[in-house]
């Protein structure tokens, strides 16, 4: 185990290793997959939300990991708990897709036993262009099934200029944040997929080049829970060992991230997009999707789930220093930073509060003139993976803003909310999607919704 004093020391060449952040609540462990289930030969039909493919056995749906539509595989059933479907892990590829490739992370490859495959790179066996095509299929299907919208969508790669050091063909070298778990014996590694079993690894190829060599994959941390690695765009990277005990200055250590010419302050443990080029990509997408003719800089514009002010700043940078915009975020520390990060705009303010409660209070207290400013508003929202949900969507629709720009990291949650907005007189005008998580099933989308007049 590394000497604790060494963990706290900072230098230009080696980042500080600090015992870390305040304790996080324990998550319930997922049921461990069966290792003795039946082995089936399956013809893989299509991709499903969640990074698994769909096959059928005697009429029953089987969700298969590590397979590609069009392949025939031998797979072991790991979960028969659901009457309508089973889950299975690919053991052998009998008829490979032309898009199958060697996994860029050796410890996640299909040649390993499923229980020993590193999780977190479930699309790594698929060529990059096919990965993006499959993600587009999931988004298009979700919009049709849950949003009632037929829309062709292309998943765009991140501009390589925004992610120096990343390999766009392999999909590696892009993660600026990485969490490694620690098992009861102090060994470090990622969890196996759909498991809380720690898998020892020799490398972390998705991490940015300056972070990957610092991953302590060959060290032991007895008594620790996890190791977080953080590489801000400005300053030295960090390796933070979480012992479950709050340490002075842990989460609240300030770092800086640069997006274009603008610098954002935030806590080291605060939320920031993990792909090196994601913040710039999403800022540009939000700027692009705000409809000029519908935007009023003097209206009651809002950035909901605003974090440290990234997207509010994108609006300000596009429309000038007379913009009025309110960032709403439940994390008080993030709101504090947002206030500093948005100081260039006199009409900008940052409010701490839950979005649903804030909207209730806003509606209750709004005067007739304020309601008029809300109806003229542009609302940007970037909710968590679960989406905004019916309550927030209905509260927003009742305020009747002209346009909403919705940033989503889950296609089903986005589609569901698009469908709810449609119930209240809003249509999906435009949507773009971005591959901000190469070698995983995750995809980010930005959508514009406008009121039907």
* DSSP-based three-state secondary structure for 435: coil
Residue 273 marked as a ligand binder: yes
Q: Distance (Å, rounded) from C-alpha 181 to C-alpha 186?
A: 9
Phi-psi region of 305 (alpha: psi -120 to 50; beta: other; left: phi over 0): left
| Cβ partners under 8 Å of residue 19, min gap 6 | 4, 7, 8, 240, 241, 242, 243, 245, 247, 250
Through-space distance between the first and last CA atoms of the chain, rounded to whole angstroms? 65
* Tokens 């590489």 -> residue: 231
Q: Distance (Å, rounded) from C-alpha 296 to C-alpha 290?
A: 11
Task: Specify whether the CB–CB gap between 436 and 444 falls below 8 A.
Answer: yes
Catalytic residue among 182, 192, 409, 413, which?
409
Residue 92 marked as a ligand binder: no
Encoded tokens for 99: 């898009």
Task: Specify whether the CB–CB gap between 16 and 9 falls below 8 A.
Answer: yes
Q: Distance (Å, rounded) from C-alpha 187 to C-alpha 14?
A: 22
Q: Is 409 a known active-site residue?
A: yes
- Strands of 268-423, DSSP E: 301-304, 324-329, 347-352, 378-381, 403-408
Q: Which residues carry a binding-site annotation for S-adenosyl-L-methionine?
A: 273, 305, 329, 382
Residue numbers annotated as active site: 409
């Amino acid at each position: 185990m590394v000497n604790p004093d060494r963990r706290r020391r900072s230098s230009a060449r080696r980042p500080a290793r600090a015992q870390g952040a305040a304790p996080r609540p324990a998550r319930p462990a997922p049921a461990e997959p069966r290792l003795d289930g039946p082995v089936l030969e399956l013809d893989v039909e299509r991709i499903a939300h969640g990074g698994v493919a769909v096959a059928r056995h005697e009429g029953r749906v089987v969700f298969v990991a590590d397979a590609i539509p069009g392949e025939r595989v031998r797979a072991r059933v790991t979960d028969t708990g659901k009457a309508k479907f089973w889950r299975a892990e690919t053991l052998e590829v009998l008829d490979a897709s032309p898009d199958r490739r060697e996994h860029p992370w050796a410890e996640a490859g299909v040649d390993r036993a499923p229980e020993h495959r590193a999780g977190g790179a479930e699309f790594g066996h698929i060529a990059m262009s096919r990965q993006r095509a499959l993600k587009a299929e999931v988004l298009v299907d979700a919009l049709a099934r849950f949003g009632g919208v037929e829309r062709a969508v292309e998943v765009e790669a991140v501009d390589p200029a925004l992610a120096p050091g990343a390999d766009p063909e392999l999909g590696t070298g892009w993660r600026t944040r990485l969490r490694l778990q620690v098992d009861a014996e102090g060994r470090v590694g990622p969890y196996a997929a759909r498991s809380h079993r720690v898998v020892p690894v020799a490398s972390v190829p998705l991490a940015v080049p300056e972070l990957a060599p610092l991953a302590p994959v060959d060290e032991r941390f007895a008594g620790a829970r996890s190791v977080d690695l953080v590489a801000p765009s400005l300053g030295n990277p960090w390796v933070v060992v979480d012992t479950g005990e709050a340490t002075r200055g842990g989460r609240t250590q300030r770092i800086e991230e640069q997006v274009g010419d603008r610098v954002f302050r935030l806590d080291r443990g605060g939320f920031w997009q993990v792909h090196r080029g994601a913040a710039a990509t999403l800022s540009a997408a939000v700027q692009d999707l705000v409809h000029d003719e519908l935007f009023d800089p003097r209206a009651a514009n809002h950035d909901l789930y605003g974090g440290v002010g990234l997207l509010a700043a994108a609006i300000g940078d596009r429309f000038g220093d007379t913009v009025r915009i309110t960032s709403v975020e439940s994390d008080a520390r993030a709101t504090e930073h947002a206030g500093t990060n948005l100081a260039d705009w006199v009409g900008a303010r940052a409010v701490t509060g839950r979005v649903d409660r804030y909207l209730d209070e806003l509606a209750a207290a709004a005067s007739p003139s304020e309601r008029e400013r809300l109806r003229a508003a542009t609302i940007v929202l970037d909710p968590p993976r679960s989406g905004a949900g019916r309550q927030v969507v209905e509260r927003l629709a009742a305020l009747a803003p002209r346009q909403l720009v919705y940033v989503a990291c889950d296609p089903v949650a986005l589609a569901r909310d698009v469908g709810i907005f449609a119930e209240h007189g809003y249509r999906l005008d435009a949507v773009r999607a971005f591959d901000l998580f190469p070698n995983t099933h995750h995809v980010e989308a930005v959508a514009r919704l406008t009121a039907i007049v």
